Amino acid sequence: MSDTSAPVPRLVRFGVFEVDLRSGELRKSGARLNLQQQPLQLLSVLLEQPGELVTREELRKRLWPDDTFVDFDHGLNAAVKRLRDTLGDSADSPRFIETVPRRGYRFIAPASVPDWPAARAGRGAGPRRVRLERAIVGVGVAGAIALGIWTFLKTPVPGNAGANITSAHRSPGPLRRLTTGTDLNTEPTLSPDGEWVAYASDRSGEGHLDIWLQRLSGGEPVSLTRDPADEHEPTFSADGNRIAFRSEREGGGVYVIPAHSGGEARLLVSGGAHGPRFSPDGRWLAYSTGPGWFSTDKNSAFSSATYLIPSTGGESTRLLPHFASVAWPVWSPDSRLLLTARDRINDNQEWWVVAPDGQTPVKIDGVNLVTGSRFAVRPWSWLEGNRIVYSAALGGDSWNLWEVVIAPDTSSVSTEPKPLTTGADLQAHASIVRGTQLVFSNLTQTVNVWAVPVHADSGRAAGPAQKVTATSALQWSPSASEDGRRLVFRSDRLGIGGLWMRDLETDREDLLVSSRGAIGPVITADGSRVAYVDAERHWAIFVVPSSGGEPEKVCGDCGDSFVFVQDWSRDKTRILYLAGSPTEVFVLHLPSGRKTRALQRSPHSLWQARFSPDDRWISVLAPLEAQGHTRLWVVPFRDGSVPDADQWVAITSGDAWDDKPRWSPDGNLMYFTSLRDGFHCLWAQRLRPDTKEPMGPAFHVQHFHSARLSMSNAGFVGLETAAARDKLFINLGELSGNIWTTRLQ
């Protein structure tokens, strides 16, 4: 049989892994791994020539067609790293993929094709190792997978993996990278004449963001600001002579500088103002308050407000003051209208169009087509023809640029969303002039668990945060034993999702539960057991020994639609959990299986419930939806009865978004996160030992205002904290990225 007529094998096996070439699936011991398509395509190309060098140039041609514009080195390195993370492989001691420095890669593990006709002929029916490049011909493995990728890319939902950025639908021209390196280059804005781009960057190497300016056609960038504080979110004035930007200096605010000479910055708005946008007619500057950084979470703007101020300075006027949350204003080309986003707690995002005087606001119907149910969208530009360019993740784990047409006169979205870019990173901060020239940032995000050392007696930070986990995967929802020796967290590092256990004395990590539905792990105070919910198994509650073993289902009917485990009692006989709508707090008594209501506060939902160390109290969060804020409470625990409202003790005032209340081991301090200064930071409140009433003002434990590394960069989904005796475990997200440009045809 000639090579050209050989059929394509279905399965290729190596070690405990199996690749299904027809469906494009990778499995480990029978469990399907959620590997993105670019790393999977890379694996297939390497498998075609096991044991032989595959050059970087060959990989470029196979993985990125000629009409794909990509930062190749970054893309290939990212695909290899993800593939190694999924396989549990190491670049230093490889078992599967070996790096040949400056040349390429080779697949070094034995591979076999089970039940392959050419391998069985005259040799029995068992699997046989074969030269895959001779068996896989015709379309080949990569071709078979690429066929699936092509079908996927033709749908209006992105999610194809890899670090490449391909263009679609509006036929953008070639993509060109304006910045290089591993710095954080972000938040670009084009001058009105399209000749210049300003952006924020930490390229100076001094650990903070400055505003930089360079020609779009190329050339060396020039730093316009040099303050030690982060300065970012630049925007050009209508005449191109000024740049307004957000600065963290002296408490923060919006400043303005000459566009081409820099010089002394002049304060326009002090405090939490961010995201400034000049109107195209030059009369106004719009800005928002609330969370200051771009977030990939749907609840990233629920505590924001939007204001207008004359572009030369003056008194600010709040836009749509009757809304609890209005964020991300975008001007129409004629300056007559603004598009704003309204985020409501635990509800879908809304888009509203309103005139600068606040009159006759119009809700745009059909935005659910744009936002989906899980992720927020961030509008960036309003172009001629009522075309809105925005970032969103519709169905994938990447954030891409999209376009949709709205019809303000009919209060509706008039077209389906169409992607402008695809890729595995975060594409954001789109700036467009003349409706055609586009610049945007392409960001890489990692989320890991960090530990903040604290003084047990005072609750003050004893040093900077230290990284606990360190992979390119997402590590979320940490829960720690009281002594801080054992840590459980959720990770997608193997592509399948699951819970991992880490021993902080030995630094050993083990997969505890392999299930993409396993969420919200909570470990007992002594570190012996872990409770969690499996969302793919009817939201049942499971318990598993922290040393490993078979999970035991302890409650299969704790909620009708969703359940979240919150905490263990000290004697390990009770599990605190959330269920219902509005969400209420329940207790599961493990010996008897009895379920009782512990807290309710209708019409408010309750979240983040935790037992005090002596099990006499429960801390809880109640959203104040009308204000876009929250309030933290401590309530007596009465097993079998629900305390009245007059027994609730307020810990915070409700003037900010406070979250994640966590007891200190002695029960006399409440740690929590807060957005009260515009950033996710760690705070603490002293409590009276007997009544748990607050003593004195809250104090900050550690601030996280950095653009590159912060709690805000981790997003709200999965962001958790855990308190141990001498440390706090938190999630921090880290960003890096570069600026790209293209022309929309």
Q: For the segment 481-527, what is each residue's pLDDT rounded down to a tens digit? A: 999 999 999 998 766 679 999 999 999 999 999 988 899 999 999 99
Counting beta carbons within 10 angstroms of the beta carbon of residue 641, is it exposed (0 to 12), middle (13 to 18) or buried (19 or more)? exposed
Rounded distance between C-alpha atoms, residue 28 and residue 34, angstroms: 11
**What's at 379, amino acid-wise?**
P
297, 321, 441: which is closest to 378 by C-alpha? 297
Q: How much is the pLDDT for 556?
A: 94
Rounded distance between C-alpha atoms, residue 581 and residue 561, angstroms: 9
Reply yes or no on whether the pLDDT at 239 is more than 60. yes
Q: Please tell me what DSSP assigns to residue 7.
A: P
The answer to whether residues 188 and 180 touch, using CB atoms and an 8 Å cutoff, is no
153 sits in which H/E element: helix 140-153
- CATH code for residues 3-153: 1.10.10.10
In the block, residue with structure tokens 């952006």? 199
Compute φ and ψ for 33, nearest 5 degrees: -95, 145
DSSP 414-482: -S--EESEE-SSEEEEEEEETTTEEEEEEEEEEEEEEEEEB-TTT--B-S--EE----SSBEEEEEE-T
Q: How much is the pLDDT for 21?
A: 67
Counting beta carbons within 10 angstroms of the beta carbon of residue 27, is it exposed (0 to 12), middle (13 to 18) or buried (19 or more)? middle
CA distances from 434 to 194, 281, 437, 672 (A): 8, 15, 7, 46
CA distances from 37 to 44, 63, 343, 385 (A): 10, 10, 32, 35
pLDDT: is 108 or 245 the higher one? 245
- β-pair partners for 113: 128
Q: How much is the pLDDT for 454?
A: 97
11-62 pLDDT per residue, tens: 788 888 888 766 677 888 777 777 776 788 888 888 888 888 898 888 887 7
Rounded percentage of the chain residues whose pLDDT exceeds 90: 49
Return the minimum-mean-pLDDT range out of 10-14, 287-291, 310-314, 343-347: 343-347
Average pLDDT, the chain: 83
609, 575, 573, 579: which is closest to 591 by C-alpha? 573
Q: Structural domain boundaries of the chain?
A: 3-153, 166-444+737-743
pLDDT: is 357 or 149 the higher one? 357
618, 714, 630: which is closest to 670 by C-alpha? 618
The answer to whether residues 304 and 267 touch, using CB atoms and an 8 Å cutoff, is no
Rounded distance between C-alpha atoms, residue 490 and residue 499, angstroms: 5
The answer to whether residues 198 and 188 touch, using CB atoms and an 8 Å cutoff, is yes
Cα torsion through 249, 255, 257, 259, rounded to 10: 110
The answer to whether residues 354 and 344 touch, using CB atoms and an 8 Å cutoff, is no
Range among 253-267, 361-375, 416-430 rated most confident = 253-267
What CATH architecture is 166-444+737-743? 6 Propeller (2.120)
Q: Which residues of 519-537 are buried (b: 16+ CB within 10 A; e: fewer)?
A: bbbbbbbebebbbbbbbee
Range among 5-14, 149-158, 223-232, 625-634 rated most confident = 223-232
Return the minimum-mean-pLDDT range out of 67-76, 157-166, 666-675, 712-721: 157-166
pLDDT: is 140 or 630 the higher one? 630
Q: How much is the pLDDT for 148?
A: 23
SS3 (DSSP) at 598: strand
In the block, residue with structure tokens 């855990």? 722
Rounded distance between C-alpha atoms, residue 572 and residue 574, angstroms: 6
SS3 (DSSP) at 385: coil
Helices (H) and strands (E) in the chain, counts: 7, 57
536, 544, 531, 538: which is closest to 558 by C-alpha? 538
CA distances from 257 to 234, 262, 335, 503 (A): 10, 6, 23, 51
Q: What are the residues whose beta carbons fall under 8 Å from the beta carbon of 152, sequence distance 6 or more? A: 37, 159, 160
Rounded distance between C-alpha atoms, residue 353 and residue 306, angstroms: 13
184-202 pLDDT per residue, tens: 999 999 999 999 999 999 9
Please give the structure tokens belonging to residue 16: 């405990």
288-303 pLDDT per residue, tens: 987 655 555 444 555 6
Q: How much is the pLDDT for 140?
A: 30
CA distances from 724 to 594, 613, 671 (A): 30, 11, 11
557, 487, 564, 562: which is closest to 532 by C-alpha? 564
CA 702, 707, 709: angle at the middle one, nearest 5?
55
pLDDT: is 472 or 96 the higher one? 96
456, 458, 457, 478: which is closest to 467 by C-alpha? 478
Q: What are the residues whose beta carbons fall under 8 Å from the beta carbon of 443, sequence distance 6 or more? A: 184, 186, 425, 426, 427, 428, 735, 736, 737
The answer to whether residues 623 and 345 touch, using CB atoms and an 8 Å cutoff, is yes
